[in-house]
Amino acid sequence: MFKHIGRKILAVVGIAAIIGLAGLWSFYNYQQEQTALRQNERTMAKLTESVIRGLEAVMLAGHAEVVQSYADRLKTISEIQDFRILRIDGNEAFRDNATIRKVNERRGKEEFPLREEQQVIRVMEPSHPRFAAAVTSGAKAGAPVIHYEAGPDGHTLLTFLDPIRNGGKCAKCHGKDHPVRGILKLTTSLAPVEREIQATRYQSLIFLLGAVAGITLLTYFLIRRTVVAPILRITQAMANVASGDLSQQVPEVGRDELFEMAKSFNLMAGKLLATYTGLHYEQDKLTTIIQSTREGIVVTDKSGKIVLINPAAQQLLQKPVDLVVREGFLSLFDDPDNMRKWLDDRHSTIPETIVYKERTLNVYASTILAPDGHISGSAALIRDITEEKRLEEELRKLSTTDGLTGLYNRRHLDQTLEKELSRAQRYKENLSIIMIDVDHFKRFNDLYGHEKGDRVLEAVAQAAQHCLRKTDIACRYGGEEFLLILPSTDQEGAAVVAERIREGIEAMIVEEVKVTVSLGVAAFPESAAPTPEALVGAADKALYDAKRGGRNQVRQAPPATISPPPDKPQE
């Protein structure tokens, strides 16, 4: 019923009006009732005063016998419930001979005859508070004592206790012993007055209901026109804004609070429209970037639920979207422990490199923190670097290998030999090298051409590498020379390998041509070479000895022989 503000305002105003008018109605009726009662009291006061004056006149005329008849006649009036004349002892007067005897005694003669029938009727006790108050009030020339009480028929009874003062001519008969001669007790019913009051209440209630109805209708009309209608316009505009229509504007009428509300709404709607337009534009750009980028993007909300997966991520993960969402963020790469570790390391700025489903991926996973420090989500940026790694490996290979033979080049040889010799010296291990030179290669080139010479070098390189272990390193030293590094191998063992290589090459036929090689072997610590250059020099000298000894043979460097190699014989 009170879902609408108009009805609420109307209810509040109606309740306030009813309370106000009800209060006014109650006050008015109370005043009317009090006025009627005061008026009735004044009337009763005049009546009792008139009765007292009449009694005095009768008594002074010497007709006391008619007073009781006068009192009895007054009781017959419909509004009068009781009328009695009391002596100050609380007994009803004119019913016995007590007063007559006192008067005759004071007059000294039987001036007033005694009653043949007398009654002693106790009406009120002298100690009764109201009776005593009336006697005291009479002694001080005060007002009568008034008392209200409920009658047997439910109507209110009004009782007057009006003192009859003693004085003047009355004192001749009654003396001056007491200032009060008696109490006039008059009880009347307020039924007529109460009926008039009830009628007044009913009429005022009808007027009140009419006034409430009129005020309610007028208030409803005014509220509907001046308050509810503008609020409904603003409310409808707000609902339209909430549904996505940010172009809403409402009329700005008047200069009151509703005007300020409408003005604020229009300003807010305008700013929202501008902000939404800008955000929509930026969202379009961001969506385009996210959807078209080659990097995979996966984002979660603060509860860990995946809310964004771009096409690149689907392709890199090779999983459908529903499966990714169902498995959760930690299982993107089927390794929750690692993913949890990456997320916990919030200071890392280096992406992790993993191999996933035959792809090399760079993964940057992080927890997203709000400005106040609480977690607002997580994100993973996935980049496929498989091709980059392949190119990097190819570049590395190109930078360290010989393009013709596929063996390591001179640059890699120098770095590796220095490292291996240093390790052998540190840990007192063996290290051997074998230097190979193709016999009469220059003459071979001149006779058959460089193209066939290149194929000979390729064949020699393959034959040499075929006889090596995985831990051995084969390098092209330069031209037709090759150098083999054999870690953890002594000189005798290297000589055995060298002989095996020589025999394998001698058994080859390359382009219908037989090829032979000469080999020199040197080793640490046999040669006591302190540097790579010295070790190579020892092997080169042994190679020179092999060539000088007739070629196609293996020679070992003598122990502790470190000297510059002699000039090589001409090919």
**Mean pLDDT computed over 83-102:** 77
Residue-wise pLDDT for 226-283, tens only, equals: 777 777 777 777 788 777 777 778 787 777 777 777 778 788 877 877 887 887 777 7
The amino acid present at 318, given as its one-letter code, is: Q
Residue-wise pLDDT for 458-480, tens only, equals: 999 999 999 999 999 999 998 89
Do 368 and 442 belong to one domain?
Answer: no
Residue 380 maps to a domain: yes
Looking at residue 172, its pLDDT comes to 60
Mean pLDDT of the chain, nearest integer: 81
Q: How far apart are CA 338 and CA 332, in angstroms?
A: 11
Q: Is pLDDT above 70 for 54?
A: no
Q: How far apart are CA 183 and CA 89, in angstroms?
A: 10
Do 487 and 367 belong to one domain?
Answer: no
In three-state secondary structure terms, 24 is helix
Tokens 């005020």, residue located: 215
Burial 78-99 (b: 16+ CB within 10 A, else e): eeebebbbbbbebbbbbbbeeb
Angle at 490 between CA 484 and CA 494, to 5 degrees: 40
Q: Which residues contact 51 (CB under 8 A, 6 or more apart)?
A: 74, 83, 184, 186
Residue where one domain finishes, among candidates 196, 212, 243: 196
Do 364 and 457 belong to one domain?
Answer: no
In three-state secondary structure terms, 255 is coil
Six token digits for residue 108: 């000294």
Q: How far apart are CA 135 and CA 161, in angstroms?
A: 9
Helices (H), 65-167: 67-75, 98-107, 129-139
In three-state secondary structure terms, 357 is coil
> How many domains is the chain built from?
4
Q: How far apart are CA 231 and CA 262, in angstroms?
A: 9
Looking at residue 562, its pLDDT comes to 44
Tell me which residue range forms the domain holding 191: 5-196
**Mean pLDDT computed over 318-325:** 88
Looking at residue 61, its pLDDT comes to 56
Residue where one domain finishes, among candidates 161, 178, 196: 196
Q: How far apart are CA 302 and CA 57, in angstroms?
A: 109
Q: How far apart are CA 39 and CA 45, in angstroms?
A: 10
Identify whether the C-beta of residue 367 lies closer than 8 Å to the C-beta of residue 373: no
Q: How far apart are CA 275 and CA 288, in angstroms?
A: 20
Residue-wise pLDDT for 102-144, tens only, equals: 776 766 666 666 777 777 888 888 888 888 887 787 667 767 8
Higher pLDDT, 65 or 350: 350
Q: Which residues contact 383 (CB under 8 A, 6 or more apart)?
A: 294, 295, 296, 351, 361, 362, 363
Do 385 and 479 belong to one domain?
Answer: no
Residue 396 maps to a domain: no
Tokens 């009805």, residue located: 7
Residue 472 maps to a domain: yes
Residue-wise pLDDT for 487-526, tens only, equals: 999 999 999 999 999 999 999 988 788 999 999 999 999 9
Do 343 and 418 belong to one domain?
Answer: no
Looking at residue 176, its pLDDT comes to 62
Do 119 and 18 belong to one domain?
Answer: yes
- Straight-line distance from the first to the last Cα atom of the chain, in angstroms, rounded to the nearest whole number: 117
Q: How far apart are CA 413 and CA 472, in angstroms?
A: 12
Q: How far apart are CA 361 and CA 372, in angstroms?
A: 33
